Structure 1
């Protein structure tokens, strides 16, 4: 018994489901719009026409005479429904009778009322080498219904694979292309304006977006960093080299000045004293000894004045600070004055003795 009851319930459920399925939406319309419910029959002037909605007659015409007119009917007999609302959703039943009153077989229409889609617009967002296209409502306050469908057009050609409101593409491959977004549901559809993206980063032609799983921009940035580092190193080396060269030139200049000062000091040290200075002590003592050895009245051989008092006259230094060497200086430097090295003068000649004239042989 329990099994039979369960089978009966399942059967009843299937029957109800088939009934509901048979009453599934045949036509769709958007709220606030107008819609024509098709008759599906070629109406004759002699035929009588009746439209019913929720078991209520909303239009009845018989032999060119309108009996009920709660809704308008077109010339072909289709029902015109305007300013649709949610409560106008349901089954619309047409009935047609010929001039003999015979009923014609007609198809009922289940009309579903949906919220209309809003007009969209396309936004393009640049990210690395890619651009993201997104279909959004034109007004921020608008919101698309749940059952909306998306369709994309690229240069007026359908993109069959793209059925979502957003997708990514390579910026380099789509730089000059026009993209259009189309949104729709079973009640209506809207289309956006065509746009083109202006992403500055379009990548490098011929290079992949990623290399070993890493963005190509990482390698590009690394290479740029290495180049900048090399430039900085070259600049630092150049500055250090220039600084070292300047220090070396400074040291050479100081050495040159020291050498010049040393040469000048040596030159002044080897020069004989000036005439207005007293002669050295040892030279004066040597002259006194010579005078004592000479006998009175004998002058002895007179030395040349040039040898006695010849002293080199100091020359004024040259304008460049380095005096020219004197040829006399070398001779004087080779014969230093020394008491021990002075030679003794030759003996003085003796006076002749007077001899009487008779003793002369």
Structure 2
């Protein structure tokens, strides 16, 4: 390519704001990560020969500072750029001079760097009795698509979406490609699942009925938990009240007056469980007024302990005695 053609290509690219995709052609298509080689001379490069490489009219590298950039490697007749990136896309100008400054070689070429295409995935959607295919891929920039039916080209379709495909058991694949790389999806079948009319319970959809039954079961379980909790609390409250009544009966026995025989007799007839005394603390007994008063008087007027039931039964009842006759004194005067 001569100098006039190179200038024309650069001018067209500048008109498109340096956009590589807007340039009609790319002289070099490189896959990201590969190496880009620029030819310098047809024969071996002499020691006093010089060269410069520009990208988009900006000096990129020259011979005297070639060792300062690790990505550039100078070989016998060429210069190699390793590990190409997407940002390396652009218009490169190569100029080679001899020791006298004579131009030995000069050319310009447009370089386009493309990414490696990931594996696409075919998404199937149903519409009435037909099937729509969508070739899904992460990045669709600079990509073209092709569809295959059972391994053969199908309808020469180059779009991402394939519409109105009749349902059958054929296998369809999608291929995404750019100028340097391509990748093909896994095969899918052009079939749609028909709705199951028997997939109902009591005339309702199975999913709805399962949700209703699950909700009802959860509600019943919640009600049972509430009822059990209320019953347990009620039982504890009743036991506490019964214990309070027994303690009140004990206080009545302790504080009864000595003259209240009927109350003592009734209390004797009703034996008191020792468990009641065990549940009464010393602090509670100290709070009884009658016991406190008794302790203040040093127990001088304490009543003798009442006889037990067995002692009362052992004592014999007194026998009736005959009435004694009164002695009559005789009056001597009368006789």
TM-score, normalisation: structure 1: 0.38
Q: From the CA coordinates, give the structure whose radius of gyration is larger.
A: 1
TM-score, normalisation: structure 2: 0.40
